[in-house]
């Protein structure tokens, strides 16, 4: 079964509406909608913003539905000049930029327990999503996606994250979903469409472009499902 997680209604409602014979289950305060899309078994949930919410949702989805693939979709803020609003970022790996225990001599971003700074996404799953994004006419980028419990809206913070982790974009859930999937042995991918520049204009750009960005992610995911029916069954 394929699990799909987004942080906001705008990121998942369109996908939920495509589910045939939808059923509902609630756990950990999260509503899970499950059924099929084009013959593929899927479960979709809105986790709400933030890493703890995302991890709770991912773990519940794994435990309750036995998903063997997880895709996190949604919007993101750009961290690099060449990553423009409406561009698509598909992660090669994820990092949690707000983990900082350097005072104890550990490198910035190190995730204790898995002992990694960057957690790799599933290569085959990410490649298939990239193919679907290109097929829908999107400009894509591959690289590191940085997560943290902060809406990045300053050049200073943007440059700090980019310089430390060489990340393409920032958001608030992918790193936690990636960590949860990784420790459970579940393949995962992160699909993000850029809604703002992660700078002082972010508060202006984000409301204007979040719906467009979310629709872009939805179109790519539906194309992916249509292309991967046999792979996902």
Instruction: Report the percent of the chain where pLDDT is more than 90.
Output: 74
Residue 20: strand pairing partners: 36
**pLDDT tens digit string along 92-111?**
999 999 999 999 999 999 99
- Give the bridge partners for 32, in sequence order: 25, 45
**Distance of alpha carbon 193 from alpha carbon 73, whole angstroms:** 8
Say what the pLDDT of residue 217 is: 81
| Nearest CA among 177, 124, 157, 144 for reference residue 11 | 177
Q: What is the pTM assigned to this prediction?
A: 0.92
Q: What is the mean pLDDT of residues 62-74?
A: 97
Residue 233 has a pLDDT of 45
Checking if the pLDDT of 160 tops 50, the result is: yes
Q: Which of residues 196 and 37 earns the better pLDDT score?
A: 37
Residues 156-183, mean pLDDT to the nearest whole number? 96
187 pLDDT more than 60 = yes
Average pLDDT over residues 217-229: 85
Going along the chain from its start, the domains and CATH numbers come out as 2-232 (3.40.50.1580)
Catalytic residue IDs? 11, 196
Of residues 210 and 125, more confidently modeled: 125
What pLDDT score does 212 carry?
75
**Structure confidence at residue 92 (pLDDT):** 98
Q: Is the pLDDT of residue 204 over 60?
A: no
C-alpha distances out from residue 129 to 3, 39, 161, 218, Å: 14, 18, 25, 12
> Is the Cα torsion angle 124, 184, 63, 111 positive or negative in sign?
negative
Which band of pLDDT confidence, cut at 50, 70 and 90, is reported for residue 206?
low
64-78 average pLDDT score: 95
Average the pLDDT over 177-187 and give the result: 98
Q: Which of 58-67, 92-101, 219-228 has the lowest mean pLDDT?
A: 219-228
Residue 232 pLDDT: 45
pLDDT tens column, 24-54: 999 999 999 999 998 899 999 999 999 999 9
**Average pLDDT of 174-200?**
90
């Amino acid at each position: 079964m394929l699990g799909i997680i987004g942080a906001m209604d705008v990121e998942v409602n369109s996908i939920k509406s495509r589910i045939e014979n939808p059923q509902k289950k609630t756990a950990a305060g999260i509503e899970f909608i499950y059924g099929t899309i084009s013959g593929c078994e899927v479960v979709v949930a809105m986790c709400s913003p933030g890493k703890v919410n995302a991890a709770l949702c991912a773990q519940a989805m794994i435990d309750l539905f036995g998903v063997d693939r997880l895709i996190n979709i949604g919007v993101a803020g750009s961290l690099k000049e060449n990553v423009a609003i409406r561009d698509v970022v598909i992660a090669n790996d994820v990092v949690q930029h707000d983990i900082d225990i350097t005072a104890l001599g550990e490198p910035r971003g190190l995730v204790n327990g898995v002992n990694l700074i960057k957690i790799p996404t599933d290569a085959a799953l990410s490649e298939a999503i990239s193919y679907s994004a290109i097929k829908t006419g999107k400009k894509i980028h591959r690289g590191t996606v940085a997560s943290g419990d902060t809406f990045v809206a300053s050049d200073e913070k943007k440059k700090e994250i980019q310089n430390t982790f060489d990340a393409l974009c920032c958001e608030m859930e992918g790193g936690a979903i990636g960590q949860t999937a990784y420790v459970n042995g579940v393949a995962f991918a992160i699909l993000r469409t850029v809604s703002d520049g992660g700078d002082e204009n972010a508060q202006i750009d984000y409301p204007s472009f979040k719906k467009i960005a979310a629709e872009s992610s939805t179109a790519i995911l539906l194309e992916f499902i249509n292309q991967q029916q046999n792979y996902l069954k």
